[in-house]
Amino acid sequence: MVNEFEIKKQICDIGKRIYNRGMVANNDGNISVKISENEFLCTPTGVSKGFMTPEFICKVDATGKVIQANAGFKPSSEIKMHMRVYKERPDVKSVVHAHPMYATAFAIAGIPLTQPIMPEAVIALGCVPIAKYGTPSTNEIPDAVSEYVQYFDAVLLENHGALTFSDSLLAAYNKMESVEFYAQLLYLSRQLGGPKELSDAQVQRLYEIRRQFGMTGKHPANLCPNNKDGKPSCHNCGGKNSCSGNCGGSANASEELVKNITAKVIKELGL
Ligand code: 13P
């Protein structure tokens, strides 16, 4: 039996962390936790996520409808985005949305985080794609995120921010920290003349470590380009999973990305 009050307190603590780390300004950001198949706790709309107490937290069902909310509090305006992730990823227990400075700058510039520059980012995230722009609070954002939700645990939201999800509240928050740290390092190394990228072989070794650790969630290490045929991914594949050993695993991040974008453009143009 989950202790709802305890989880509400944990949501408030994570709200403080994202606020204190400058990952949100003003009343931005939102957090949710799945407590049963049809019950979710979420932050209320329009409050600073750095100054919440447990009675602020709302309870909704799988459609985002209010089950319980104290007077003066309504669920986050982005609840549809959270609910779409839970619907499409039954393994996910928590979703965090924030506007961390560097990751959001990349999302605004339209640059996904695909360069393999440090082991921790490659192991934790692989890479971070950008879901196309959608108007906040509408189904446009959930629809855009849906394209990536089966392949990644972290997505940039174009001209908006970042979204992370995982099998616990702390893990979803930690992914947000990892995304921001990766984005910050990528930004700074670009100022210093450009990062020295890890080689394909180095990336493959890190992917292998991730597989050996049995890390949960979705990650490019678990994808095979031979099977995904235009599906969004990047970096490369060790060929250890579902392809029958004929995967070269040689495409580098940018080649892979260009291939996917070209496939999308061709599809959209109906060619
Ligand atoms: P809410 O306060 O409604 O959750 O919205 C904050 C936000 O960041 C919207 O993108």
Q: Is the CB of 29 under 6 A from ligand 1?
A: yes
Q: What are phi and psi of 68, to 5 degrees?
A: -155, 130
**DSSP output for 12-30:** HHHHHHHHHTTS--TT--E
Domains and CATH numbers, the chain: 4-191 (3.40.225.10), 215-269 (no CATH)
Q: How many angstroms separate the CA atoms of 204 and 155, rounded?
A: 22
Name the token pair of 51: 């100054």
Give dist(CA 123, CA 126) in Å, integer: 6
Residue 256 has pLDDT above 60, yes or no: no
Nearest protein CA to atom 6 of ligand 1, as residue: 28
Q: In the annotation, is 55 catalytic?
A: no
Distance CA 44, CA 125 (A): 28
- In whole angstroms, how far apart are CA 138 and each of 10, 43, 142, 144? 28, 18, 8, 11
DSSP structure string for 73-142: --B-TTHHHHHHHHHH-TT--EEEEE--HHHHHHHHHT--B-----HHHHHHTS-B-EEPP--TTSTHHH
pLDDT in tens, 64-119: 999 999 999 999 999 999 999 999 999 999 999 999 999 999 999 999 999 999 99
Write the CA distances from 85 to 48, 143, 164, 180, 212, integer angstroms: 23, 10, 10, 20, 26
The model's pTM: 0.85
Looking at residues 147-175, what average pLDDT do you find? 97
Q: What is the pLDDT of residue 46?
A: 98
Of all residues in the chain, the percent with pLDDT exceeding 90 is: 77
Band of pLDDT at residue 248, cut at 50, 70 and 90 = very low
**Which pLDDT band holds residue 220 (cuts at 50, 70, 90)?**
confident
DSSP single-letter state for residue 44: B
Residue 97 CA, closest ligand 1 atom number? 8
Ligand 1 neighbour 46 (Cβ under 6 A): yes
What is the DSSP pairing of strand 39-42 with strand 30-36? antiparallel
- The full length of the chain comes to 271
Atom of ligand 1 nearest to the CA of 161: 10
Cα of 223 vs centre of ligand 1, distance in Å, is 32
Residue 30 has pLDDT above 50, yes or no: yes
Residue 27: CB within 6 Å of ligand 1? yes
With a 6 A CB cut-off, is 136 part of the ligand 1 pocket? yes
Catalytic residue among 6, 39, 55, 78: 78
What pLDDT does residue 222 have? 77
Name which residue sits closest to atom 4 of ligand 1, judged by CA: 76
